């Protein structure tokens, strides 16, 4: 049985498996990247662009609550699913959203 992995020159190489339980030998373990979304809910106008732009459906609009300006505002309904792509922050016309990428090993 052979496994394929990247060597230091970023070329694919084939290494024969030794029959041991260490199947990840030769593979580079990537750090897990998570995102953290912070929304300024008082500035949010509820345009719903961020909700549509989010690929992991992290954001929704509060249907029963409004901010001081009378708008339904966006909030993170599933913050653990955020991947930190910043799509929501890019499409926000009012700059209400900040996205941070958190790297964990």
What's the rounded Cα separation, in Å, for the pair 37 and 74?
11
Entry pTM: 0.66
Q: In this structure, is residue 86 part of a structural domain?
A: yes
Looking up tokens 């409004």 gives 66
Q: Tell me the residue range of the domain where 86 lies.
A: 5-11+31-104
- Residue 1 confidence class, pLDDT cut points 50, 70, 90: very low
- Residue 14 confidence class, pLDDT cut points 50, 70, 90: very low
Dump pLDDT digits (tens) for 48-86. Answer: 999 999 999 999 999 999 999 999 999 999 999 999 999
Does residue 16 surpass a pLDDT of 70? no
Domain count along the chain: 1
Q: In this structure, is residue 19 part of a structural domain?
A: no
């Amino acid at each position: 049985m052979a496994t394929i992995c990247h060597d230091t020159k970023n070329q694919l190489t084939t290494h024969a498996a030794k029959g041991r339980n260490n199947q990840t030998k030769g593979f580079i373990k990537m750090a897990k990247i998570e995102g953290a979304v912070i929304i300024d809910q008082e500035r949010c106008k509820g345009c719903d662009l961020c909700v549509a732009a989010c690929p992991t459906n992290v954001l929704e609009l509060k249907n029963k609550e409004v901010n001081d300006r009378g708008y339904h505002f966006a909030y993170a309904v599933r913050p653990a699913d955020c991947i930190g792509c910043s799509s929501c922050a890019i499409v926000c016309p009012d700059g209400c959203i900040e996205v941070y990428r958190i790297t964990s090993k």
